[in-house]
Structure 1
Amino acid sequence: MARSKEFDERAALDAAMQVFWEKGYEATSLSDLTARMGIQRTSLYATFGDKQSLFLACLAKYSEATMAYYQAKLQKETTIREAIRSCFADIIAAAYDAKPNRGCFSINTMVELAPHDPEFARITRHNQTQLQVLFQQAIERGMETGELAEKLDAAAVSRSLVVYMAGLLVTLKSKPEREFVEDSLSTLLQLLK
């Protein structure tokens, strides 16, 4: 008779994601993972596979939650301009409120692993593309309602927003003056006129 698992897979995956998020992929050891997850190595391998497979599962979970968050955020506000401003304002607020500021798990992965691992480069590019599509759909809605100018190139503006977001998340790791970052956001929002 097969033994039932004695741990909650979702909770273990969340715990693993926290370790990877805090330390990065390379600096995280299997001992770090099993200690935080509260499981033995054999259970880790049997349930999640090797370290890279576990990391990929964590990244997929994070990406799914992040995309759902931004999709809801871009539909929640009364105006598209405010929805987009709010997405970035939340990132800025979180960076200055968080102790420590761990940044974005996906962007951290892009910086640490994508330059030398084609699989992580592909995944992080896919995440950026998904976000770009969400921004583009929001901008197109704003153009259809007349809130945003019809002359806008929704694809180009949405790509600019994604590039700005990635740069913002990396920049915030060094805790620049908040006014510096908020001024850059004001300038960025000029694209939406």
Structure 2
Amino acid sequence: MSKRGPGRPPAFDRTAVLDTVMRMFWRHGYTAVSMPDVCAATGLSTSSLYNSFGTKLDLFVAALARYHDTVLEAFMLGPMARGEQGLDDVEAFLDRLGSTLDATVARGCLAVNTIAEFRDPPPSVAEHTARYRQLLRMSLRAALGRAAELGQIPPDSVDARTEALVPMVLAYNLLTAAQAPTQERRELLSTARGLARH
């Protein structure tokens, strides 16, 4: 009798499924997305989803991790953390935030939306929202620290500017997800830009 090989890999693209699910949670939130919704969007059965990802909460946590890697690290915050231009890196980040101002459907930030949705988050969710806040703070501090090295701002103002900008970024994302008036969000971004530079 021949030995049985390892189990067959899932006959679907796990990354593509996670990207689809991430966009669903990003647009609608955790509570509003049901497993039947996920099945319909991905073409997978409930059993396939559970066997591959676990519970709905497990799937959500995997989507948060995917968001962190592909949106926050690769696009939104990572470039600011790794940049070399100081205040221009902060400005470019705020420009990326502002790119949603005229969007027909603006979703804000999945991590910030999750903070707003979960009043008492499970530990696995709290870990990811804390990871987001840490990355945001670190990225701003890194860019502002370079600005200080370049002589663009006083060195002793880096921490104060960072701690003032973090809640402004959170507030901007919350206002975006809430479809707040464009002018209100534009003024908040303008205030953030002024705080960073002066």
**Who is 2:190 aligned against?**
186
Q: Which has the higher helix share?
A: 1
State the SS of the aligned residue for 1:101: coil
**Who is 2:94 aligned against?**
88
- In the alignment, is the contact (CA less than 8 A) between 2:108 and 2:177 conserved in 1? yes
- Mapped pair 1:165 → 2:169: yes
Distance 2:165 2:88 in 1: 14
State the SS of the aligned residue for 1:60: helix
State the SS of the aligned residue for 2:99: helix
When the two structures are aligned, how many residues end up with a matched partner?
A: 189
- In the alignment, is the contact (CA less than 8 A) between 1:95 and 1:103 conserved in 2? no
Give 1:86 shift: 2.2
Alignment gaps of 5+ in structure 1: none
Alignment gaps of 5+ in structure 2: none
- In the alignment, is the contact (CA less than 8 A) between 2:80 and 2:143 conserved in 1? no
Distance 1:50 1:90 in 2: 33
**Who is 1:28 aligned against?**
33
Residue deviations 1:50-109 (CA, integer Å, cap 9, x gap): 110010000011012212322224545x73222212212221222422x31122111111
* CA root-mean-square deviation: 2.0
Question: Identity over the aligned pairs, expressed in percent?
Answer: 26
- In the alignment, is the contact (CA less than 8 A) between 1:92 and 1:172 conserved in 2? no
TM-score (norm 1): 0.87
Question: Runs ≥4 in structure 1, deviation > 6 angstroms?
Answer: none
- Go from structure 1 to structure 2 and tell me whether the alpha carbon gap of 1:189 and 1:4 turns closer, same or farther (over 3 Å shift): closer
- Go from structure 1 to structure 2 and tell me whether the alpha carbon gap of 1:85 and 1:28 turns closer, same or farther (over 3 Å shift): same
**Who is 1:18 aligned against?**
23
- Mapped pair 1:47 → 2:75: no
Distance 2:140 2:178 in 1: 26
Give 1:155 shift: 2.5
- Mapped pair 1:149 → 2:141: no
Equivalent position amino acid for 1:24 in 2: G
**Who is 1:112 aligned against?**
117
Q: Select the structure with the greater relative contact order (CA < 8 A; seq sep ≥ 6).
A: 2
